[in-house]
Structure 1
Amino acid sequence: MRYMPNVWKLFAIRFFSSLIPAYVIERLYWEERGMTIEMVVYTEIIYAVTIVLLELPTGIMADKWGRKPMIVLSAFMGCCEFLILLFATEFWHFALVVFLAAIGRSASSGAENALLYDSLLSAGEETSFEKYLGHLNALDISATIIAALCGSLLASRFHYELNYGISFVSTLVSLGLTLTLVEPAVKNPTDEDPPIPIRTYITASVRFFRNHPGVYLVLLSGMVTGSAVNFIDEFWQTYLDRVHIPVLYFGLVSAAIFMLRLPGNLVAHKLKSVFGYSSLLSAIMAGIALGFLCLSVMKGISGLAAILLVCLMAGVMEPLAAGYLQHRIDSSMRATLGSFQSLGENAVLSVIGIGFGYFSSKLDIFGGFGFIACICCLFLIYFSYASRKHI
């Protein structure tokens, strides 16, 4: 039971790392400092490519040398991001920020879930992983909602820089909490054993996915939907600005966006036992595809309903895909294999981002969302066929 406190510490870390009032006006702040939609997409591609390059190495390091150092590194990168953003005025400043953000994301993506699962495993509670992960995500969403409501109010009355200063303090608190984590005891190679080459980790990971096509298919669905939803997270503010919604109401919209992710995270572990993975994943992807299709044609305030539909569907996906993988892998490679989903998601994101940026430049944000709708529909057709054999 000595590792169970890690669970509550992870809850606190996630809360403060998500208590970021800067996010509610991020696109407006960037645009105010000269960043166009195309330039933002370029930084998104930098972010995605960096994660693709670093995701596996950081996952391997988490498995070989510990999850805690990677989580601490992620929190430290978060502090650096907001410190730089307070003074950012040029494209390369923002490019550096997303580069550091990618380092932090890749460091924590596999390590956090691995630390959570192994902490639960030490207490015999590993079967409750989806439940705890769902609650962790729910707390994340709650903190985001609080930050959004406060952030929009502050942004309507004060300079945007205040939001970024508060966000920097919140990341500092999160960094301090990461230092109190305790590394769980897992079955890793002993000090007497020769070190395992990185190539061995990669080969074993590829072999695992080849031998488990169902896991591969579920993670692929998480990658595609996750990368698609990312464009909602990054550009909903631009959409609201285009349909002339005042910044004062951004907090309410952001709260609604994240509030709708709560039910899915909290009940995903129950839904999977009722409907099964194949039917549930198909419904999620169909809902997301429909939402993006509506966004591309609804050029008014009614498009908010489509954004909310996408977020409602997205809330179920993360714990579902993560749990499907975690229950089927060994602790010695938990972070490495967990990193594959983030790696693949960002590889897909970098490819989709090119098309999104092109259509946004021609047809504004509405054209970009239409392109995402086409991608989601095509993948849904593929998934419906492949899932009959493998899930």
Structure 2
Amino acid sequence: MNYRLNIWKLYAIRFFYNLIPAYVIERLFWEQRGMTIQMVVYTEIIFAITVVLLEVPTGIIADKWGRKQMIVLSTLLECFMFLILVFATEFWHFAAAIFLAGIARSASSGSENAMLYDSLLQNGQEQAFEKYLGRLNVCDFTAAIIAALCGSLLASRYGFELNYWISFVSMLVSVCVSLMLVETAVKSKSDESTEIKEHIKASVRFFRKHPGVYLVVLSGMVTGAALSFIDEFWQLYLNRLEIPVLYSGLFSAAIMIVRLPGNIIAYVIKSRFRYRTILSSVTAIFAVGFIYISVIKDYTSLVAIFLICLLSGIIEPITTGYLHHRINSSMRATIDSFQSLGLNVVLIITGLGFGYFSSKFDVFGGYGFIACICVAFFVYFLIVSKETIEQ
């Protein structure tokens, strides 16, 4: 069976999964419906807690009973989420929608990467994982750019709600394509044990035996969590700079376009530079960039945001590839799920700080807190990584 067709289907799923014009006006729509920054942070924490609780169990289910089923479940739940948001007027409506989104994220995170890697493995192309993961992310950003450009125009002319209906239809297409995936034929050794506890113990043992993997994955968690606060709150940042909503689509497209080069050439960068050099450099630039956008409250801070986004494109293919090259298929989705679980633990911790300082000093104070986190991790990484990270 030609599993390469799965790769193209995954591209299509990711494209329609992110062809979501609702995202470009999401925070403004939520604010219009009465959601404050603090309330938004609470929903983000609900999302993160949901992922933390379900990430590993869904990864185990994916390893034991199939990755396709979890990807289908993820797209279905996202459809229901958009339906709820269209009619949401109270905090608990938004919280319920985000709870479903958390389940959806848990179901797809480890499953999608495992499906991609094992589809390549069946064709003897697993060493090209970073290359194909980067292209998968390009599909993600391309769809998001199109959605952002169209979404801001539609929102300025027809209001915010139409964007949510279009997003629902796009997600429905993603459901249909996910049903066409072919389950990979890799036999899972996890059939030998059905205990979730045993899978968790095995995963923890793996990270203990490979401290370099732990540190690389941790760097992806910290930078990924920091980047999420740009993705979630840039609309409010532009609003504070008095930039009209008409330009939101252009800005959203721009911060996604600058991520494309990193995803495309990450596999080349990996072959030419040491992992420690790549990750320490990116972390340092994140720290400086967040300091700048928290202190400098004018248009020049947008350059710092672009720089952060530019470097972020390299991170996911590098850190995820480093992990997948060192695990086997029997635990691939489970261990990959630990990466997402850790990211959301970091999101919970940083989200509390971001929400607190945003309530005191607006969104600029929140970004100042993220800057402190990045600086602290940069120092920690330099100290610990010297002897642990393999090339």
Question: What TM-score comes out, normalization by structure 2 length?
Answer: 0.98
5+ long unaligned stretches in structure 2: none
Partner of 1:179: 179
Please identify, of 256-265 and 193-202, the stretch whose mean Cα deviation from structure 2 is larger. Answer: 193-202
How big is each residue's C-alpha offset from its partner over 1:289-334, in whole Å with a ceiling of 9 and x where there is no partner?
Answer: 1111111011122221111111111111001110000000000000
CA distance, structure 2, for counterparts of residue 124 and residue 326 of structure 1: 15
Instruction: Find the counterpart in structure 1 of residue 28 from structure 2.
Output: 28
Corresponding residue for residue 148 of structure 2: 148
Match of 1:305?
303
Specify the alignment match of 1:73 in structure 2.
Answer: 73
Matches within 5 A, 1:1-391: 2-189=2-189, 195-391=193-389
Write the letter of the residue equivalent to 1:335: A
For 1:218 and 1:380, the matched residues in 2 are separated by 12
The letter for the 2-side match of 1:115 is M
3-state SS of paired residue (2:327): coil
Distance (Å, rounded) in 1 between the aligned partners of 2:147 and 2:285: 27
Pairwise CA distance, 1:377? 0.3
> SS in structure 2 opposite 1:390?
coil
Instruction: State the Cα distance separating 1:194 from its structure 2 match.
Output: 5.1
Aligned equivalents of 1:247 and 1:356: distance in 2? 24
Q: Matched residues in 2 for 1:188 and 1:329: separation? A: 13
1:2: how far off?
A: 1.6
Aligned AA (1:237): Q
TM-score normalised by length of structure 1: 0.98
Which secondary structure does the structure 2 equivalent of 1:11 belong to?
A: helix
Supply the distance in 2 between the matched residues of 1:248 and 1:94 (Cα, whole angstroms). Answer: 25
Q: Which runs of 4+ in 1 moved over 2 A?
A: 193-196
What is the alpha-carbon distance in structure 2 between the residues aligned to residue 265 and residue 339 of structure 1? 21
Q: Distance in 2 between matches of 1:194 and 1:24?
A: 46
CA distance in 1: counterparts of 2:361 and 2:217, whole angstroms: 32
Distance 1:292 1:91 in 2: 30
Corresponding residue SS for 1:86: helix
Q: What amino acid is the match of 1:20? A: I
How far 1:187 moved relative to its partner?
2.1
Instruction: Tell me, in whole angstroms, the C-alpha distance in 1 between the residues paired with 2:337 and 2:314.
Output: 19
Percent identity reads 66
Aligned residues: 389
* Letter aligned with residue 95 of structure 1: A
Q: Distance in 2 between matches of 1:126 and 1:327?
A: 8
Deviation at 1:196, TM superposition (A): 3.0
Instruction: Letter of the 2:240 partner, please give it.
Output: R
In structure 1, give the amino acid aligned to 2:44.
Answer: E
| Distance in 1 between residues matched to 2:141 and 2:285, nearest whole Å | 20
Distance 1:74 1:278 in 2: 34
Distance 2:159 2:251 in 1: 20
Inter-partner Cα distance in structure 2 for 1:196 and 1:277: 36
Residue 199 (structure 1) shift: 1.3
Cα distance in 2, alignment partners of residues 196 and 58 from structure 1: 13
SS of 2:277 mapped into structure 1: helix
Q: Distance in 2 between matches of 1:95 and 1:76?
A: 18
